[in-house]
Chain A
Amino acid sequence: MTSTRLPVTVTESIVTAYEPRRSQRRSTPPQIVMYIVLTIGAVVSIFPLYWLLVMASNATGDIYKSPPTFVPGPRLFENVAMVFTRIDFAGALLNTIIVASSVTFLVLVLDSLAAFAFAKFDFPLRRTLFTITLVTFMLPMQLAVIPQFITMTNLGWVGELQALIVPAAANAFGIFWLRQYIVSAIPDELMDASVLDGAGFFRQWFAVCLPLIRPGLGFLGIYTFITAWNDYMWPLVVLTDPHRLTLQVATAQLKSAFGQDYGMVMAGALLSVLPLLVVFLLGARQFVGDIAKGAIR
């Protein structure tokens, strides 16, 4: 239902990293020490992923050795192949892509519509409705899990992907954040001009609002996607069909069911992390281009 991960500040500050620094404060403690510490920290951040690769590419027997091997081995492809024979991993990957994309699309459409209405129009109950949205997005997920499961039972959606997609589309945080964005990104004069042109609400939303808030939609989209991709508890509860799992549930199942085949389990974990990592690393730059252009326009 809600996500406590607050994307905005983070992404913006990642992005600001690409802008040239305006002031350069030098005069700090010995620079070299600082860079060494920062590098150690970065290595610690990245090392587990490297280690994942090492284990995913070695035979299970080699992993039990002491001292352990520190270099990737030759068995990556065998282990990956084993993952695909053990469980329907390809299906899980496809399902996760479907769920994360659909949730992202729905959240962007629904939230931008509602946020646009809250930001630029006045209508009865506006404040009340907005306050309700704000208050309830603080409610924790586990309060809703059992009733939501019962609802899914009655809808006949248990085990189906809709059970993951539809509830996640009600993302109150997106409305809250997009509303702020729209207030600052769309000048009132532009709204007035479009009214003079005879544009109705939906036309204004499509022609005026959406183009101006693209960078904002980009951030919200990426973060909704990541959250949906990594979601675990709700899919674990509601997905029953072994051929309709998400990557997270499938990876956890690899561990609990075939846990002793280490190399294989690690290959599964690696595969479940990789797509998102690639998207993030590729997307970071694309993102920056978008935001820079968005800011200029």
Chain B
Amino acid sequence: MLIRTRRTRWAAALAAIAVATLALTSCSDSGAEGDEEITLWTWPGGLSETVTSAAVSEFPEADLEVSTIGDDFKQKLVTAFTGRSGIPSITGVKGEDMPYFLQEADLFTDLNTLDIDDLLDDFPDWKIEEATTADGKLIGLPTDIGPTALFYRTDILAEAGLPTDPTEVAAATSTWEDYFTWGEQLKARTGTFLEVSLSDVFNKAMGQGETKFVAENGDFLGDTDTVRAAWDLAIDAWDRGIVAGIQDGSTDWASAVSNGTLPTLLGAAWYQGDIKSNAPDTSSLWKVTAMPGGPANIGGSFLTIPAATEDKEAALEIIKFLVSPENQATTYSEIGNFPSSISAIDAPALQEPDEFFGGQVTTDVFREASENMPTNYTSPIDNEVSAPYFTELINIESLGKDPEQAWDDAVAAAKQVWETAQ
């Protein structure tokens, strides 16, 4: 009898949970539609936490809620759009995903219809063009740009008896050829690797070019000299044995950066954030200088307002706050995202020496890079068409696949992707 009562209670509890669930889920439904909460999506390292918290207190009436989404950001955003549900009021869009979303520009608010005239002058024209459709709709404002540089560990270079001053390092590594030769010395003397992976060399070299994998008129460029030259550079580095073959951003990468196995890294300004957060113990040992073969243009993101957002004005005010010169300066000092705002570059905060980089004023390096880097057209299918090249480069690293065979396979696979997309 006693058992029976206990069981009845158990069943009652379960029933209560189920009822509560239905009540809860339906509540949250009406709640989401009712109040004027503004939601913002970004990814780890997309925006500085100091700046987003400041925005939360700056706009109390907007009830701003910032979500950091890991994993595949673009996929989550596409899912929300496809599902027409849970779409954020403001969302970041990565530079490399922008061409894709430009095709679906109707999903976003045309910012030209809002009051942004006083803002536009502060951004470089080429960056604004990246977020503009052929018929002139502007769907995003840039948060940062991605000029690249060479990061290096002074302690390891000194150990190898190489100069550690940024100007001297830049002089010794001004071309890829010089850089690789220099890397061979480094490896011979310290046993360390110059490059993370073949994909990294390839990607950086592609970022230095004027064209990518698909032309603006839709032509396939995957077998052009530009791509082949970048590929050959990667293979050259491989043959010289200076590539570690580690996946960028993996835990193995983090440990190699921490323990000095990878004393040199090529990356955009925002890469500083990754280095600082993954290798905090190496503070003051790093320096930064110009990238071999000239600067590349990699990444650099936008903030957009989806078309479904009700209070577009409020959303725009928040974006304006986030990309204001002062806040972009704060963002740079905190996570290294290089300002898209021209006036932010001159902000006093950016002229401060950075302790992590041994007291170097890193802004100077990236400013110069940003003035000289190419701006290139990226097709909406560029990511997909380029994927086979990266896959095959990994095959060379991990399977010892013949590079020539790998090239042929990559071009064939890329062409197939390009054809299916026609």
The answer to whether the Cβ of B258 comes within 8 Å of any Cβ in the partner chain is: yes
Q: Please indicate the chain A residues that have their CB under 8 angstroms from the CB of B281 in the complex.
A: 61
The answer to whether the Cβ of A162 comes within 8 Å of any Cβ in the partner chain is: yes
The one of B22, B65, B84, B255 in contact with A153, judged by C-beta atoms closer than 8 angstroms, is B84
| Listed stretches A121-129, A189-197, A239-247; interface member | A239-247
The answer to whether the Cβ of A64 comes within 8 Å of any Cβ in the partner chain is: yes
The one of B18, B25, B84, B250 in contact with A162, judged by C-beta atoms closer than 8 angstroms, is B25
Chain A residue nearest to B255 (CB atoms) is A64
Write the A192-205 contact mask toward B (1 if CB under 8 angstroms, else 0).
00000000000000
The answer to whether the Cβ of B103 comes within 8 Å of any Cβ in the partner chain is: no
Q: Please indicate the chain B residues that have their CB under 8 angstroms from the CB of A259 in the complex.
A: 249-251
The answer to whether the Cβ of B83 comes within 8 Å of any Cβ in the partner chain is: yes
When chains A and B are docked, how far (Å) is the Cα of A160 from the Cα of B84?
A: 12
Q: Please indicate the chain B residues that have their CB under 8 angstroms from the CB of A243 in the complex.
A: 65, 67
Residues A241 and B86 in contact, CB atoms below 8 Å apart = yes
When chains A and B are docked, how far (Å) is the Cα of A149 from the Cα of B4?
A: 42
Q: Which of A45-90 contact B (CB under 8 A)?
A: 61, 64, 86-87
When chains A and B are docked, how far (Å) is the Cα of A199 from the Cα of B83?
A: 47
| Listed stretches A28-36, A250-258, A271-279; interface member | A250-258
Residues B21 and A257 in contact, CB atoms below 8 Å apart = no
**Least CB distance, A49 to chain B, in whole angstroms:** 20
The answer to whether the Cβ of A152 comes within 8 Å of any Cβ in the partner chain is: yes
When chains A and B are docked, how far (Å) is the Cα of A254 from the Cα of B68?
A: 11
Residues A158 and B69 in contact, CB atoms below 8 Å apart = no
Chain B residue nearest to A108 (CB atoms) is B14
The answer to whether the Cβ of B7 comes within 8 Å of any Cβ in the partner chain is: yes
The answer to whether the Cβ of B24 comes within 8 Å of any Cβ in the partner chain is: yes
When chains A and B are docked, how far (Å) is the Cα of A241 from the Cα of B32?
A: 11
When chains A and B are docked, how far (Å) is the Cα of A259 from the Cα of B44?
A: 11
When chains A and B are docked, how far (Å) is the Cα of A244 from the Cα of B88?
A: 13
The one of B80, B258, B259 in contact with A240, judged by C-beta atoms closer than 8 angstroms, is B80
**Least CB distance, B101 to chain A, in whole angstroms:** 16
The answer to whether the Cβ of B270 comes within 8 Å of any Cβ in the partner chain is: no
Q: Please indicate the chain A residues that have their CB under 8 angstroms from the CB of B181 in the complex.
A: none
Q: Which of A244-297 contact B (CB under 8 A)?
A: 244, 252-254, 256-260, 262, 293
Residues A156 and B85 in contact, CB atoms below 8 Å apart = yes
When chains A and B are docked, how far (Å) is the Cα of A253 from the Cα of B29?
A: 24
The one of A64, A165, A240, A262 in contact with B21, judged by C-beta atoms closer than 8 angstroms, is A165
The answer to whether the Cβ of B30 comes within 8 Å of any Cβ in the partner chain is: no
The interface size bin for chain A is 35 or more
Write the B80-110 contact mask toward A (1 if CB under 8 angstroms, else 0).
1011111000000000000000000000000
Given contacts A257-B44, A260-B278, contact A237 B255 (CB under 8 A): no
When chains A and B are docked, how far (Å) is the Cα of A152 from the Cα of B79?
A: 11
Given contacts A240-B85, A293-B3, contact A257 B18 (CB under 8 A): no
The answer to whether the Cβ of B314 comes within 8 Å of any Cβ in the partner chain is: no
When chains A and B are docked, how far (Å) is the Cα of A87 from the Cα of B80?
A: 19
Q: Please indicate the chain A residues that have their CB under 8 angstroms from the CB of B18 in the complex.
A: 101-102, 105-106
Given contacts A101-B17, A237-B79, contact A257 B68 (CB under 8 A): yes
The answer to whether the Cβ of A98 comes within 8 Å of any Cβ in the partner chain is: yes
Find the residue from A64, A152, A258, A260 having the highest chain B CB count within 10 A: A260
Given contacts A252-B71, A257-B44, contact A158 B79 (CB under 8 A): yes
**Least CB distance, B301 to chain A, in whole angstroms:** 16
When chains A and B are docked, how far (Å) is the Cα of A165 from the Cα of B44?
A: 30
The answer to whether the Cβ of B41 comes within 8 Å of any Cβ in the partner chain is: yes
Write the A152-170 contact mask toward B (1 if CB under 8 angstroms, else 0).
1100111111100100000
When chains A and B are docked, how far (Å) is the Cα of A186 from the Cα of B312?
A: 63
Q: Please indicate the chain A residues that have their CB under 8 angstroms from the CB of B390 in the complex.
A: none
When chains A and B are docked, how far (Å) is the Cα of A240 from the Cα of B80?
A: 6
The answer to whether the Cβ of A104 comes within 8 Å of any Cβ in the partner chain is: yes
The one of B68, B85, B277, B278 in contact with A159, judged by C-beta atoms closer than 8 angstroms, is B85
The answer to whether the Cβ of A120 comes within 8 Å of any Cβ in the partner chain is: no
Q: Please indicate the chain B residues that have their CB under 8 angstroms from the CB of A105 in the complex.
A: 14-15, 17-18
Residues B41 and A98 in contact, CB atoms below 8 Å apart = no
Chain A residue nearest to B69 (CB atoms) is A242
Q: Please indicate the chain B residues that have their CB under 8 angstroms from the CB of A61 in the complex.
A: 258, 281
Q: Please indicate the chain A residues that have their CB under 8 angstroms from the CB of B278 in the complex.
A: 260
When chains A and B are docked, how far (Å) is the Cα of A214 from the Cα of B28?
A: 34
Residues B70 and A102 in contact, CB atoms below 8 Å apart = no
When chains A and B are docked, how far (Å) is the Cα of A243 from the Cα of B32?
A: 12
Residues B25 and A260 in contact, CB atoms below 8 Å apart = no
When chains A and B are docked, how far (Å) is the Cα of A240 from the Cα of B79?
A: 7
Residues A64 and B259 in contact, CB atoms below 8 Å apart = yes
Residues A152 and B83 in contact, CB atoms below 8 Å apart = yes
Residues A257 and B25 in contact, CB atoms below 8 Å apart = no
**Least CB distance, A5 to chain B, in whole angstroms:** 21
When chains A and B are docked, how far (Å) is the Cα of A161 from the Cα of B28?
A: 10
Q: Please indicate the chain B residues that have their CB under 8 angstroms from the CB of A157 in the complex.
A: 85
The answer to whether the Cβ of B321 comes within 8 Å of any Cβ in the partner chain is: no
Q: Please indicate the chain A residues that have their CB under 8 angstroms from the CB of B251 in the complex.
A: 259-260, 262
Residues A258 and B70 in contact, CB atoms below 8 Å apart = yes
Write the B54-88 contact mask toward A (1 if CB under 8 angstroms, else 0).
00000000000101111100001001101111100
- Kindly list the 4 A-B residue pairs having the minimum CB-CB distance in the complex, ordered from nearest: A257-B70, A158-B83, A159-B86, A242-B67
Q: List 8 A-B contacts (CB under 8 A).
A: A61-B258, A64-B259, A98-B17, A102-B17, A156-B83, A158-B83, A165-B21, A257-B43
- Chain B interface residues toward A at CB < 8 A: 3-4, 7, 14-15, 17-18, 21-22, 24-25, 28-29, 41, 43-44, 65, 67-71, 76, 79-80, 82-86, 249-251, 254-255, 258-259, 277-278, 281
Given A159-B83, A257-B69, output 19 extra A-B contacts at Cβ < 8 Å.
A61-B258, A64-B259, A105-B17, A105-B18, A106-B18, A149-B83, A152-B83, A158-B80, A158-B83, A159-B85, A160-B25, A160-B28, A214-B7, A240-B86, A242-B41, A253-B71, A256-B71, A257-B44, A258-B70
